[in-house]
A and B are shown apart, each in its own frame.
Chain A
Amino acid sequence: MKAWIASFAVCALALVAAPALARAWQVDSAHSTLTFTNTYQAVAYTGQFRTFTASIDYDPADLAKAKFDVSVDITSLDTQNSERDSTALGADFFDAAKFPKARFVTTAFRQAANGDVTAAGVLTLRGVSKPVVLTVEFVPHGDAATLDVTAHVKRLDFGIGSGQWSDPAMIGADVAVHGHLTLDAMQH
């Protein structure tokens, strides 16, 4: 009888407590990518940051508690061109020696009437913090999920390739960033 009451209490507590916690997810790094597309001399190219960590709290039914906190290792840049990579990490661009990490933290999630979710947040890149908006596509399947986020980042807002490199005909001004995350539910 006591055991029965105890288990009932635990279940009841779990039912009450669960909606209060946004669901926490673990990123499966091996199946997650952070890529971007841009133009160089008016020719499109794709790059990626091979190393990043993300803390993801997300429940589509409770966006008020959702939170993304992403930290990117700038030195893990790879655009499949060694000269371009070393130039991009230099002082004129990412200045990775001084700013080896970028960070994006969400501030608020919104759901439009058609169901589309966007996340407002602050991107800190090369020592500059600016608001950036992500589109969020979250597809749960059981204890796993995929999360696709897209943002448009104006590189000159963050002083990446300013001055002599600011000409968008040489390097595109608008960088489309795309995160594809494979998530596993964390055990509470």
Chain B
Amino acid sequence: MPLRSTDTGWGALVRAFHWAIALLIVLQAVLGLTMVQLGVTPEKVRVFALHKSIGLGILALVLLRIAWRLSERRPADPAGTPRWQRRAAHLAQLALYVLMVAIPLSGWWFNSAANAPLTWFGMLQVPSLTGGYDPLWKPRALLVHQSLFWLLVAVLSVHVGAALWHHFKQRDDVLRRMLSGKSRGGGG
């Protein structure tokens, strides 16, 4: 299992980034959607703190992932894929990278404008982006954070739907090579 990607499969590091971040995004979405409905208790404060820490973790992982990805080739698209499908797939992937950076940043921005404390799992104090309470931008930052999340849900539906379609309908290696790094036809 090579660390780097090849023409026929994704490298181990790309796959680790992909699935770790995917898992964290699902966890983060569940936390985010449930925490806002909690009553004001210390439990709520802890769940918010966890959501913030995971969000900062995702941001750091995504930045590392982008740096690594820029140094790599990408496996070739399956032969015979129509041009519009390649375009759409790559555009969706680019949008996911943008959103995976923008959503944590907008959360950090909202938290800063709300003047709420921010630490990474209580170990590292994270500075404010607004230099203190900013009641004017606070509701806008929240709206941006929430809107980008629902945009992420939409783009992810396309991304996941397309992966499943490739796997079960087209019966090609698009999903397999992200799971195991190998194409059925060997190589990779």
Contacts and interface: CB of A to CB of B under 8 A. Distances in A.
Given A43-B125, A82-B135, A167 B119 contact: no
B116 interface: yes
B26 interface: no
A126 to B, nearest CB: 18
A94 to B, nearest CB: 14
A173 to B, nearest CB: 15
Nearest to A90: B40
Interface in A81-116: 81-84, 87, 90
Nearest to A39: B117
A41 B114 contact: no
B133 A80 contact: yes
Given A41-B122, A42-B119, A43-B125, A81 B114 contact: yes
A41 B49 contact: yes
A8 interface: no
A41 B117 contact: yes
A87 B114 CA distance: 14
Contacts, number: 37
Contacts of B117: 40-43, 45
Given A40-B117, A43-B117, A164-B42, A81 B49 contact: no
Contact of A80 (B49, B119, B125, B132): B132
Nearest to B138: A82
B160 interface: no
Interface string B5-25: 000000000000000000000
B118 to A, nearest CB: 8
A12 interface: no
B81 interface: no
A81 B133 CA distance: 7
Given A42-B122, A80-B132, A87 B42 contact: no
B119 A41 contact: yes
B66 interface: no
Given A45-B117, A81-B114, A84-B115, 20 more contacts: A40-B117, A41-B45, A41-B49, A41-B119, A42-B117, A42-B119, A42-B122, A43-B117, A43-B118, A43-B119, A45-B115, A79-B115, A80-B115, A80-B133, A81-B115, A81-B116, A87-B40, A90-B40, A165-B42, A170-B42
18 contacts: A41-B45, A41-B119, A41-B122, A42-B117, A42-B119, A43-B117, A43-B118, A43-B119, A79-B115, A80-B115, A81-B116, A81-B133, A83-B114, A84-B115, A87-B40, A90-B40, A164-B41, A165-B42
